[in-house]
Chain A
Amino acid sequence: MNGDARGWRMALVPDTLINPRTLARAALPDALEVLEVLEASGYGVLQLPPAGKHGLLLAVIADQVAEYAHHGYAVVAIGVRGEPGGGLHWRRLAPLLRHRGVAPPPRHLIRPDVDAAAERQRLAGFLSGYDLPVEEQRRWRV
Chain B
Amino acid sequence: MTHPESLPRKVALLANCLMNQNAKVCEGARYRGLVNPVVEALRSRGYELQQLPCPELAFAGVRRWWAVYEQYDTPAYRAHCRRLAQAIAPLIEQHLRRGDEVILIGLDGSPSTGVRFTSSKPDWGGRPNRPEDDWDIVPRRGVWIEELEAELARRGLPPLPATGWALDMGRFDEAGSRRDLEQFLDSREAAAGPPGDDPAAP
The chain A residues found within 8 Å of chain B, CB to CB, are 1-10, 18-21, 23, 35, 38-39, 41-47, 49-50, 54, 56-57, 59-61, 63-64, 67-68, 71, 73
A71 B24 Cβ-Cβ under 8 A: no
Q: Name the interface size band of chain B.
A: 35 or more
Residue in A7, A21, A56 whose CB lies within 8 Å of B22: A7
Rank and list the top 3 A-B pairs by shortest CB-CB distance, nearest first: A44-B20, A7-B32, A44-B33
CA A35 to CA B54, docked complex, whole Å: 20
- Selecting from B83-91, B105-113, B117-125, B187-195, the interface stretch reads B83-91
Instruction: Give the residues in chain A near B53, CB-CB below 8 Å.
Output: 57, 60-61, 64
In addition to A6-B32, A44-B22, A56-B87, 9 A-B residue pairs with Cβ atoms within 8 Å of each other are A5-B32, A44-B21, A45-B51, A46-B19, A46-B51, A54-B87, A57-B88, A64-B53, A71-B62
Interface on B for A, CB 8 Å cutoff? 4-5, 9, 19-24, 26-34, 36, 39, 43, 48-51, 53-54, 57-58, 61-63, 83-84, 86-88, 90-91
Contact of A4 among B29, B90, B91 (CB under 8 A): B29
B9 touches A21 (CB 8 A): yes
Assembly CA distance A7 to B30 (angstroms): 10
Residues of B contacting A8 with CB < 8 Å? 22
